[in-house]
Amino acid sequence: MSPKSYTFSHAVSRKPAASIIRGLRFEDSGTPDHQKFLEHHAAYVDVLRSTGAEVTVLEPLEAYPDSVFVEDAALCLQEGVIQMRPGAPSRLGEAAEIAGTLADIYGDIHELEPGGFIEGGDILVTDSEILVGLSSRTDHAGVAALDKIVSKWGYKVRELQTPEGVLHFKTDCSLLDEETILSTKRLSDSGCFDGYRLLHVADGEEACANSIRFNEIVVMPDGFPKTTEMLTKEGYDIRLIGNTEAAKVDGGMSCLSLRFSPRR
């Protein structure tokens, strides 16, 4: 049986809107170039499709500058899809905007109990558990609401802490296979990945910790040669995608898609 944590038949992505120039960001590192972002996004979608997955690309939502980062709006598991409740007020409507597309695929959508907030960027799903990092966008009540749903499907939720000054838990980590996690040292030093095999990004290349394992490939942002070389030597099939514009609004590889294999 293929590992369900990174074996996917489907993905959903959304083109970046021109309003991305007003996207949220922790630090101002420049204004995203919309045209270049579109080119990077198209290359990203092409790589996902190269694995044979069915990739749905949604049109831009100008009213929601950050809506290209669809991962924050939902958690898609084999058993069902759960609508998230983003912690940034300007993003609250994004979950409802993508709900119809996901309902068409899954048949229905599970909603969290009222209270609290949670974003998909703080959720790392492995084959044995769901790790959720508390952050400025995800609180304890949101994690508890998620746990109430997924526990019925047999999932174990483990609540962790995202390092101070880091936007999302997965800003600093990604799953490489059933037993291996790519992480920054500042995150793994907390001991949150005890029991997993750890590979650390190279010093100065922390921004590439947010990569994705998608079927047989690992999709990484371009421009991090030491980590790319290390993962290649470890036997991973690496595909590099430009991410300079998404990075200006705190986006990475996982943020740009919802990845799943719905149980039929």
Q: Which of 258, 222, 239, 264 is nearest to 95 (CA)?
A: 258
Say whether 14 counts as a known binding-site residue.
no
Say whether 46 counts as a known binding-site residue.
no
Say whether 187 counts as a known binding-site residue.
no
Q: Which residues are catalytic?
A: 168, 255
Say whether 66 counts as a known binding-site residue.
yes
Say whether 177 counts as a known binding-site residue.
no
Say whether 24 counts as a known binding-site residue.
yes
Say whether 182 counts as a known binding-site residue.
no
* Binding annotation: 24, 66, 71-72, 91, 137, 249
* Binding annotation for substrate: 24, 66, 71-72, 91, 137, 249
